[in-house]
Amino acid sequence: MAFQFKPEVMLETAPLLWDGIELTIIITMLGLVFGFIIGTVTGLGRISRSRLFNAISVSYVETIRGTPLIVQVMFLYFGLPLVLGIRIPPVTAGVVAIAVNSGAYIAEIVRGSIQSINTGQMEAGRSIGLTHLQTMCFIIWPQAFKRMIPPLGNQFIISLKDTSLLVVIGVGELTRQGQEIIAVNFRAFEVWLTVAIMYLCMTLTLSQVLRWYERKLNARTKR
C-alpha cells in the first residue's frame, strides 16, 4: 500500500504534545540551573591553586565529557539505586542527569571565560586593597559572565535536545509523548515530523532571544 501523507494528523497531534513540551522545558531549565551551580564550582576548581580541588574538578569534567549522556541516565536510574537501596523517580533522575552532564561543559565555559580576562584586572583589584575573593566577585566575574552568555545559550539548546534521551527511562517529555501517540494512531511519519517541528520551534525561539540579548549587551558595552 502506497504511503499517504495526512496533514490533519499533525494538527490533531500538536495539542496532544503540549504536556511533553512543558515537561521538556521544565527539565531543561532545572537541569541547567543546577548545572550552572555545579559548573561554576567545578570551573573555579579547574583554575584553583588547590591540587585536590583541581584534581577532583578535572576528574569530574573528563569523566562526564568522556561518557555518553544516555549511559549516565541509565546509570543514575538503574544502577545507582541498586547501591543506595532507593528508587529514584524518572523525572528526578532526568533533571540530575541533565545537571551533571551540562555542569561538566559549563565548567569549561566558566574556566575559559575567567581565564580570558586580562590578568591585569586581578592585579588592579589587589592594588586598590581588594582581597582575591573580592576582586574575583566584583571585577573578574562580571566581565567573565558577559562572555559566558553565548556559549551558555548554546548549552541550553544542546540540553533541551538531550532531554529526548530521557525516553529510555520513561520520562514523559516531548519524545515520549510522540511515542505514545504513535502507539495509538500508527502514523509515525506525521507524528515524528510534528515532534521535530516542535523541537525546532523551541530551539529557534531560544536562538533569537539569545541574539537579541547579545545585541543589547553589546550596545550597552559600546556606550
CA distance 198 to 184: 20
Could you report the per-residue pLDDT of 159-197, keeping only the tens digit for each? Answer: 999 999 999 999 989 999 999 999 998 999 999 999 999
Nine cell digits for residue 70: 544516555
Could you report the per-residue pLDDT of 96-144, keeping only the tens digit for each? Answer: 999 999 999 999 999 999 999 988 888 888 888 888 888 888 889 988 9
Please, are residues 121 and 137 in contact by the beta-carbon 8 Å criterion? no
- What mean pLDDT comes out for the span 46-65? 94
Predicted local distance difference test score (pLDDT) of residue 221: 62
- What is the chain's mean pLDDT, rounded? 91
pTM for the model stands at: 0.91
